[in-house]
């Protein structure tokens, strides 16, 4: 009896830090676990990568999740919501993107800063021992990963080969039409991830920040996450830039176990910085400035020379008087 009692107390003690729900409307004062290029900015943004190339960054909720009610039980239903934004120096190219993930480990030291989004490397990509569930927001099309585009969202199990993916966007509740979203548009967007234990269904939805969660999910598939995730796991975000710079931000984040994720207070979200100038403007503006200066200089010289010539002509005419005729071959030509 005593042994059973001590065993029960040990289980309860181990679950005392269990997370049922949390919400971040900005990250000022949070105690997230950060590594790589990740940091919390003074304004409260969670910055996963800071614009440097060949960089990866991770951020974890400090307390692990206990996903099962009992050892070897089913992974419980959960719901996640987060607001993100991606800023790039150029409108047509950017770092690889970011991912929301649940993982058995916080150690991603061996992960590459390339197309694997700081989660995997070329050797362990696809290994079932990874025990990782992720939602990728990918901004580079990699043929080796069979990416559908350079602007897509995908559901990933132990791999960056998405089990299902779709171009970024949402279905309008009124018209039912699909509307594209550009991940690197510098605009904040919201993503919802829901897992239903009873039917092992995963739904992923996204929309612009000020749009209510659409009724129709963008992605929907079935996969038993009890075969993927361990009893205890960490939840967080990962990002990588590769050889092209990019800044990847999370503005708000919430989680609920067996309940909807709490609402993120949009009014409290930190603001993003200034939008980067486009590549076209960065190329054309210096050329336009040089052409303008050369044109202005040429006009000034022409005007100055005409004024000088006029002054000399007037002085000459005053001194010698206008000459009306000139004798050419016995004839006279009027020059006045």
Percentage above 90 pLDDT, the chain: 70
pLDDT, greater one: 39 or 51: 39
Please say whether the beta carbons of 49 and 41 come within 8 A.
no
Binned at pLDDT 50, 70 and 90, residue 84 comes out as very high
Question: Is residue 269 scored above 90 in pLDDT?
Answer: yes
C-alpha 283/C-alpha 277 separation (Å) is 10
| pLDDT for res 41 | 97
- Cβ-in-10-Å burial (0-12, 13-18, 19+) of 223 comes to middle
- In the structure, how many helices (H) and strands (E) does the chain have? 2, 20
Residue 191 confidence (pLDDT) above 80: yes
Residue 142: pLDDT over 50: yes
Count how many Cα atoms sit within 13 Å of the Cα of residue 329 in the half-sphere of its side chain.
Answer: 0
pTM of the model: 0.77
How far apart are alpha carbons 201 and 30 in whole angstroms? 31
> For the residues 137-155, what does the mean pLDDT come to?
95
225 vs 62, 67, 92, 229, 258, CA distance in Å? Answer: 22, 10, 36, 6, 14
Q: What is the largest CA-CA distance in the chain?
A: 143
pLDDT of residue 282: 45
| pLDDT at position 301 over 70 | no
């Amino acid at each position: 009896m005593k042994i059973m009692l001590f065993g029960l107390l040990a289980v309860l003690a181990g679950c005392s830090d269990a997370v049922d729900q949390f919400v971040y409307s900005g990250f000022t004062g949070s105690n997230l676990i950060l590594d790589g290029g990740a940091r919390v900015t003074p304004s409260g943004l969670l910055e996963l990568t800071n614009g440097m190339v060949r960089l990866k960054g991770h951020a974890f909720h400090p307390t692990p999740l206990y996903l099962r009610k009992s050892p070897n039980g089913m992974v419980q239903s959960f719901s996640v919501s987060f607001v993100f934004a991606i800023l790039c120096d150029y409108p047509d190219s950017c770092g690889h993107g970011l991912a929301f993930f649940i993982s058995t480990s916080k150690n991603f030291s061996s992960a590459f800063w390339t197309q694997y989004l700081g989660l995997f490397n070329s050797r362990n990509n696809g290994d079932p021992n990874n025990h990782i569930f992720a939602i990728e927001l990918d901004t580079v099309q990699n043929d080796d990963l069979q990416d559908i585009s350079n602007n897509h969202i995908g559901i990933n199990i132990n791999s960056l080969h998405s089990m299902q993916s779709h171009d970024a966007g949402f279905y309008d509740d009124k018209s039912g039409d699909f509307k594209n979203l550009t991940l690197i548009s510098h605009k904040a967007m919201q993503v919802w991830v829901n897992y239903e234990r009873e039917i092992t269904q995963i739904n992923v939805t996204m929309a612009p920040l000020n749009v209510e969660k659409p009724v129709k999910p963008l992605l929907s598939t079935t996969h038993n996450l009890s075969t993927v995730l361990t009893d205890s796991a960490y939840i967080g975000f990962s990002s990588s830039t590769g050889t092209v710079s990019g800044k990847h931000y999370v503005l708000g984040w919430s989680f609920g176990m067996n309940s909807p994720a709490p609402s993120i207070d949009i009014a409290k979200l930190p603001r993003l910085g200034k939008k980067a100038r486009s590549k076209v403007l960065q190329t054309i503006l210096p050329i336009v400035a040089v052409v303008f200066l050369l044109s202005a200089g040429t006009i000034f010289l022409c005007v100055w020379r005409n004024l000088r010539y006029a002054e000399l002509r007037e002085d000459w005419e005053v001194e010698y008087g206008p000459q009306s005729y000139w004798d050419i071959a016995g004839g006279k030509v009027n020059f006045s």
